[in-house]
Amino acid sequence: MPQLVGKEVGPIGFGLMGLTWRPTPPTQEQAFEAMRAAIKHGYADKVVISIKGGANPKTHQTDASPENTRRSLNDSIAQLKGRKMIDLFEFGRRDPNVPLDTTFGLIDREYVQTGKIGGISLSEVRAETIHEAVKHTKVLAVEVELSLFSTDVLENGVATACAKALSRRPGMPAIIPIPGATTVDRMEENSKLIDITDAEMEQIDAILSKFQPAGERYPPIIPTDT
Ligand SMILES: NC(=O)c1ccc[n+]([C@@H]2O[C@H](COP(=O)([O-])OP(=O)(O)OC[C@H]3O[C@@H](n4cnc5c(N)ncnc54)[C@H](OP(=O)(O)O)[C@@H]3O)[C@@H](O)[C@H]2O)c1
């Protein structure tokens, strides 16, 4: 079983973005039903919460200034009303205007060492950022896109950097998929572990080699590989 923040977690996580971050999100009742089912179906014995933050609410840009870092963390912690600790906090994107040691130093001193959050992770970063970040803080996880339509991280050094910088070993890092879904049925389908035979893998590779996804991963306005 993989570990996060020193806790054993299930092999498949649950991405919660679709429960709020879309023009017409599901009702709270439906969202809670899906989350309860995720816990019941053994996503993890105990829930490990990883959240992204760091956007400036006025500019909607990533803002790693000390004041916005504190605001983002304090707002996120306040949302949970003391019922649960945030296990992992990450900036949704790297802010190119603020040195990593400024941001991580603050989070480490004021939030990790004081027990307000469990630790620091990274999101949508390039390999160089991972190598640089581990010099300044203990990076517990890296959240990036890896899907049938986007295998970039296997080829652009990000997966290799995760294995080397986080686990200190070569090869593939431990990967925990976090499929998102808004209904119990889909959540249950996504929580099943299956074995794929070599023949099936070949079939998937053959389909993908002929499949051209339309568009890029994000519209140009959204920063990627930060
Ligand atoms: N770090 C980052 O920058 C970043 C960026 C994007 C996403 N993420 C994380 O990654 C997670 C996953 O991202 P995502 O884009 O895949 O999430 P998503 O927005 O939840 O998209 C998943 C889509 O697949 C559908 N789906 C789910 N299970 C299905 C099934 N069994 N059969 C058919 N369709 C199914 C969902 O439908 P319904 O929603 O209608 O069920 C939804 O439309 C997010 O929740 C978020 O936590 C991180």
Distance of CA 14 from the midpoint of ligand 1 (Å):
9
Distance of CA 125 from the midpoint of ligand 1 (Å):
19
Number of domains in the chain: 1
Task: Examine residue 221 and state whether it is found in any structural domain, yes or no.
Answer: no
Structural domain span for residue 178: 3-210
Q: What pTM value is reported for the model?
A: 0.94
The vertex-80 CA angle with 33 and 51, nearest 5°, equals: 80
Q: Which of 12-16, 40-44, 164-168, 203-207 has the lowest mean pLDDT?
A: 40-44
Task: Examine residue 217 and state whether it is found in any structural domain, yes or no.
Answer: no
Distance of CA 178 from the midpoint of ligand 1 (Å):
8
Cβ atoms 141, 133 nearer than 8 A: no
Task: Examine residue 226 and state whether it is found in any structural domain, yes or no.
Answer: no
Tell which wins on pLDDT, 72 or 46.
Answer: 72
Task: Examine residue 222 and state whether it is found in any structural domain, yes or no.
Answer: no
Task: Examine residue 118 and state whether it is found in any structural domain, yes or no.
Answer: yes
Task: Examine residue 186 and state whether it is found in any structural domain, yes or no.
Answer: yes
- Atom number, ligand 1, closest to the C-alpha of residue 17: 45
Structure tokens at 51: 């959240």
Is the CB–ligand 1 distance for residue 76 below 6 Å? no
Model confidence at 10: pLDDT above 90: no
Q: Where are the beta strands (DSSP E) in the chain?
A: 3-4, 7-8, 50-53, 86-91, 117-123, 139-143
Q: What is the pLDDT of residues 127-164, one digit of tens each?
A: 999 999 999 999 999 999 999 989 999 999 999 999 99
Report the residue among 17, 192, 224 best suited for mutation to probe ligand 1: largest number of ligand atoms under 8 A from its CB.
17
Tally the C-alpha atoms within 13 A of residue 108's C-alpha that lie toward its C-beta.
14
Is the CB–ligand 1 distance for residue 17 below 6 Å? yes
Model confidence at 40: pLDDT above 90: no
Structure tokens at 61: 């840009």
| Percentage of the chain modeled with pLDDT above 90 | 87
Task: Examine residue 219 and state whether it is found in any structural domain, yes or no.
Answer: no
Distance of CA 195 from the midpoint of ligand 1 (Å):
22
Task: Examine residue 162 and state whether it is found in any structural domain, yes or no.
Answer: yes
Q: What is the pLDDT of residues 50-102, one digit of tens each?
A: 999 999 999 999 999 999 999 999 999 999 999 999 999 999 999 999 999 99
- Here the CATH number for the domain that contains residue 19 is 3.20.20.100
Report the residue among 90, 186, 217 best suited for mutation to probe ligand 1: largest number of ligand atoms under 8 A from its CB.
186
Q: What is the pLDDT of residues 114-125, one digit of tens each?
A: 999 999 999 999
